[in-house]
Structures are given as structure tokens and as C-alpha cells.
Amino acid sequence: MLIGFDLLDRQIVDADGEPVGKIDDIEIIDGTVVALLCGQQALGERIGGALGRWIAAVARRMSEPPDQPPIRVPVDLIARVTSAVELSVRRELLVEPPLEGWLREHLIDRIPGARDES
């Protein structure tokens, strides 16, 4: 398996098939993949340069609490790898991406009727 080709930028879905995010980076310790990293902070660090530093800085600033590390999905939560990476758990058990939380709190929740179920 070529990690950069087979895993990076692949969609992650939960046990119900709901999208969780994309793989933005991979954590490797002693030659073994231990976690998938998701979110703008991981993506910015992977891109590098001025643009990457800016993306990562914005992601860190929007996270609650500030400066929390990128979202880690341990490999033991992976059920299988197909065209997407399928997890064995539901999305609610994972850490919410900081940008999604910030957008919901500062934008979506302020829209009249946004909290109503349809």
C-alpha cells in the first residue's frame, strides 16, 4: 500500500455511512500508521509554506479550546478501506472539526429556524 496514494485525501465515513471528513495527514510512529489526521490544521501542516502556515493558524484559532492538536482517528477504529475509509464507530463519538463547530455557533445557529427539525 502506498500511503500517500492510497490514503491521503480519501473520504472517511462512519459506521452509518455518514461523512466524517477527509484524510489530511497520517501519523506514523516507528514505521507504523497509528492514526489518520483530519481537519484544516493537519492539511495546513501538510501543505507547508506560507499558505499552509496560514491555514493551520486559522484552524488553531477557531478551535475550542484554542491550539488543540489536529483531529486524530486511531487506526483501530478503521473497519475497512474501500473507495472510502469506513470506521467502526458513529460520527458522534469522534471529535468535531473546529471549523464546523465555529461555523455552527457563529453562523448557522443564528439563522432563524436553524434548530428546527424538518
The verdict on residue 61 lying in a domain is yes
The verdict on residue 118 lying in a domain is no
Question: What residues in the chain have per-residue pLDDT under 50?
Answer: none
State which residues form the domain around 17.
Answer: 3-110
Domain count across the chain:
1
Which CATH number characterizes residue 74's domain? 2.30.30.240
- How does pLDDT run across 5-34, given as a tens digit for each residue? 678 888 999 999 988 888 888 999 998 889
On whether the pTM is more than 0.75, the answer is no
The verdict on residue 7 lying in a domain is yes
The verdict on residue 42 lying in a domain is yes
For residue 7, the model assigns a pLDDT of 82
Angle at CA of residue 46, ends 11 and 106, nearest 5°: 70
